[in-house]
Structure 1
Amino acid sequence: MPMLGGRGLWLCLAAAAVAVAVMATRLMGWWSPRADFRLFIPEELARYRGRPGDPGLYLALLGRIYDVSSGRKHYGPGAHYSGFAGRDASRAFVTGDYSAAGLVDDVSDLSPSEMLTLQNWLSFYEKNYEFIGRVIGRFYGEDGLPTPELTQVDAMITKGLEANKQELKEKQKFPPCNVEWSSARGSRFWCSQQSGGVIRDWIGVPRKLFKPGAKEPHCVCVRTTGPPSDQTPDNPTHRNRGDLDHPNLGEYTGCPPLAITCSFPL
């Protein structure tokens, strides 16, 4: 099994950067002008709820309309997600609020990570349902072009993708510990070459990682030999302690400094 250390780490980060670029390109394609779509006002879209006599079963997400007739068991009248039919209820895709107040298209206060959830849903509909057109309103103007609000959504999605890339980079540097708790033995933290789902060629030792804004530290595995991960090329000297001297790390009281397992009985 290949280990994700050294060259493997940089290959992984490079792949993440490519993924960000690819997704940004895809988003630009989704928003760009097209000749093969219809424009709907909200009142017209409301007629497409799959009821007897309705012309179809459509829903909208971030202003993009999809024919979900093949998913009638999910979106048709009386189905669990029937509230999405005939409208743009983008907000509810994240919040899970299916009330009248929640089935709306206002996503202005969502976080970048929540915007990524919407992007994932958009990918799902692009893949599984037919794109029909766009809703005139919050996300598209009467000319069918993106509004400033949709441009802001795009920027937030890109920000979320960049944050994910940074999180991956940090997780490679400080993989989460393995954690075990029982009412009989208490807590145990330990490191391995696959802890936290990160495969690597080193094991490391448990440390508390303090992150700005976080209420509590969390356990990470820290490399104990070689140069620090953030060493610059113009400073080749190091103490052969890996990342142990990182200022945001703290030792666990009662655990030997270089032990790969820390146990805390009740």
Structure 2
Amino acid sequence: MNLRFVGNLVGRYYNSQGQQTKFLKGLEAKAARGAQLLEKQKIEEAKLPSCNSRWSQHEGGEVWCDVGYPRLVQRPLEIALTGKMSRKCACFKEEQLGQPGLEAYTGCAYLSKACPV
């Protein structure tokens, strides 16, 4: 294969000597930090059993826990990754239900193992 030099890519990411700019180095650092936060979020979420769920057009949706009670919990690292705060359904034991940041599903009894959504 015969390669032919056609020019330099100079601008936001590389300077005229082909070296990385501060902008590219900063971008790479942010990407590495995002990967660390994502891994940390996966580890934290693995500690919380996820709810079971189902949905049908005829019956609507439902979440339930085989052990524990379904609650919505915020995913705090999500804001660092996407700029938005999201929530997920997780199963909690009765003694854990008083923790801050847990939200019961609307229209669902406090100690119900299944909730309509």
Identity %: 29
Q: Which residue of 2 aligns with 1:79?
A: none
Structure 1 or 2: more helix by fraction: 1
CA 1:256 to 1:167, structure 2 compared with 1: closer, same or farther past 3 Å? same
CA 1:219 to 1:258, structure 2 compared with 1: closer, same or farther past 3 Å? farther
Q: Which residue of 2 aligns with 1:140?
A: 14
- Listed as ranges, the matches of 1:34-113 within 5 Å are 40-41=7-8
Q: Which residue of 2 aligns with 1:14?
A: none
TM-score, structure 1 length as denominator? 0.33
Contact 1:189 1:206 survives alignment (8 Å): yes
Q: Distance in 2 between matches of 1:188 and 1:249?
A: 18
Residue of 63, 72, 91 corresponding to 1:222: 91
Q: Does 1:248 align with 2:101?
A: yes
Structure 1 or 2: more strand by fraction: 2
Residue of 63, 66, 71 corresponding to 1:207: 71
CA RMSD of aligned residues (A): 3.0
- Amino acid across the alignment from 1:204: G
Residue of 150, 157, 163 corresponding to 2:24: 150
CA 1:177 to 1:39, structure 2 compared with 1: closer, same or farther past 3 Å? farther
Contact 2:50 2:89 survives alignment (8 Å): yes
Task: Please give the per-residue CA displacement for 1:13-32, whole angstroms capped at 9, x wherever unaligned.
Answer: xxxxxxxxxxxxxxxxxxxx
Q: Distance in 2 between matches of 1:161 and 1:211?
A: 16
Kindly indicate whether structure 1 or structure 2 has the higher relative contact order, using CA contacts under 8 Å at least 6 residues apart: 2
Q: Does 1:261 align with 2:97?
A: no
Residue of 163, 168, 189 corresponding to 2:42: 168
Residue of 168, 174, 178 corresponding to 2:52: 178
Task: Please give the per-residue CA displacement for 1:118-150, whole angstroms capped at 9, x wherever unaligned.
Answer: xxxxxxxxxxxxxxxxx3332222332211011
Q: Does 1:159 align with 2:23?
A: no
CA 1:149 to 1:218, structure 2 compared with 1: closer, same or farther past 3 Å? closer
- Amino acid across the alignment from 2:97: L
Shift of 1:211: 5.6
Count of equivalent residues: 106
Poorly superposed stretches of 4+, deviation over 4 Å: 210-213
Q: Distance in 1 between matches of 2:53 and 2:43?
A: 21
Which runs of 5 or more residues in structure 2 are unaligned?
77-83
Shift of 1:207: 0.7
Which runs of 5 or more residues in structure 1 are unaligned?
1-37, 42-134, 193-202, 226-240
- Amino acid across the alignment from 2:33: K
Task: Please give the per-residue CA displacement for 1:150-177, whole angstroms capped at 9, x wherever unaligned.
Answer: 1111111012112202321332234442
* Secondary structure at 1:187 match in 2: strand
- Amino acid across the alignment from 1:146: Q
- Name which one, 1 or 2, has greater alpha-carbon Rg: 1
Q: Distance in 2 between matches of 1:143 and 1:39?
A: 15
Q: Distance in 1 between matches of 2:37 and 2:6?
A: 34
